[in-house]
Amino acid sequence: MFGLLLVTFLIARVMPIDPVLAVVGDRAPADVYEKARLDLGLDKPLWQQFAIYIGKVFTGDLGRSVLTSNTVADDIKTVFPATLELATLGTLIGIMLGVPLGIVAAVHQGRWPDQIARVIGLIGYSIPVFWLGLMGLLLFYAKLGWVGGPGRISVAYQDFVTPITGVIMLDAAMQGEWDAFWDAFSHLILPASVLGLLSVAYISRMTRSFMINELQQQYVIAARVKGVSEWQVIWGHALRNAVVPLVTVIALSYMHLLEGSVLTETIFAWPGLGRYITNSLLNADMNAVLGGTLVVGAVFIGVNLFSDIIGRLADPRAR
């Protein structure tokens, strides 16, 4: 975390963007410019600026966004639940489809189920996200009308749900607004499926590798010799040992969806963290960019630590 703070601080200082001009504008008088420079603490030595920066971050002060005129912390509280909602459903799709697909591919290694699984993984890795999202909108929204369009919820339902957690589907369910719930789900399912395909490709490939390795171990041979059913060998023995590294893979997939869904959020006009950081970068709003970067980094650290804890709980040898 300290390294992340140091890097973001140095990026803010080496970027060819004057933070003072971002605040006062390029037509401000010299005295206004100088006063803003002193208020921002840019006249102090670099080490002192870094110490002030750390102190502000740990008190939740990420600065003020030039683009929205709100504090960056408030902006992130607004946009992060949208990304969390999108990445969570995308990861669940990846787990529900990727894990069984990887197991089937490992059990039938070299045969047609394995080939199909590998082709699905190749498609997930190869198709550009922006093209897949556009084709999905064209087919399922414009042509068939099966899903909602861009955005998180239709205009007609925007005032039906009072924000509590920021996750629209959860808030709608808590308030009993089921029409708004299903409308929000119809908007979420397509972008989540686009991200889910990427997750399926990654998780299925890694599951296949882990399972092939476990199925070659001596304890599997011993179980088969003792007459244990193939179902128990696969699901009760091999998969239980493959779960430990698989937890880390799923956590990594989830983290990448949390921070790597910029194109998906842009195509589907999804008001999430990735889109917020991108718009801020295009408008030279460095406070917002660095604040978003810190949040993404903190999430990476937290989820990685959580996956390590789950791995220890799942593996008696680690305990």
At 159-169, the pLDDT tens digits run 788 888 888 88
pLDDT at 22: 66
* 107 or 17, higher pLDDT: 107
Q: What is the DSSP string of 157-172?
A: GTTTS--SSS-HHHHH
The angle that helices 72-107 and 273-282 make with each other, rounded to 10 degrees, is: 130
Domains of the chain, by residue range, sit at: 2-58, 72-129+195-314
Residue 283 has a pLDDT of: 77
The C-alpha atoms of residue 274 and residue 279 are separated, in whole angstroms, by 9
Higher pLDDT, 235 or 17: 235
Q: What is the mean pLDDT of the chain?
A: 84
| DSSP state, residue 64 | B
Tell me which of 160 and 143 has the higher pLDDT. Answer: 143
pLDDT (mean) for 43-54: 81
Indicate if the pLDDT at residue 96 is higher than 90: yes
Residues 246-270 have a mean pLDDT of: 83
| Predicted pLDDT of residue 52 | 82
Which one-letter amino acid corresponds to residue 202?
Answer: Y
Pick the range with the lowest mean pLDDT from 22-31, 48-57, 119-128, 241-250.
22-31
Quick one: which of 121, 123, 153 has its CA closest to 271?
153
pLDDT band at 203 (very low <50, low <70, confident <90, very high): very high
**Sign of the dihedral defined by the CA atoms of residues 304, 308, 313, 314, in that order:** positive
Q: Which residue has the tokens 């100088």?
A: 34
**CATH number of 72-129+195-314, picked from 3.90.226.10, 3.40.50.11540, 1.10.268.10, 1.10.3720.10:** 1.10.3720.10
Q: What percent of the chain has pLDDT over 90?
A: 11
Residue 36: pLDDT above 80? no
Q: What are phi and psi of 271, to 5 degrees?
A: -80, 65
The token duo for 279 is 């718009």
Section 205-231 average pLDDT: 87
Confidence tier at 121 by pLDDT (50, 70, 90): confident
DSSP-derived letter for residue 148 is: -
For residue 318, what pLDDT band results from cuts at 50, 70 and 90? low
pLDDT of residue 305: 87
pLDDT for residue 100 = 92
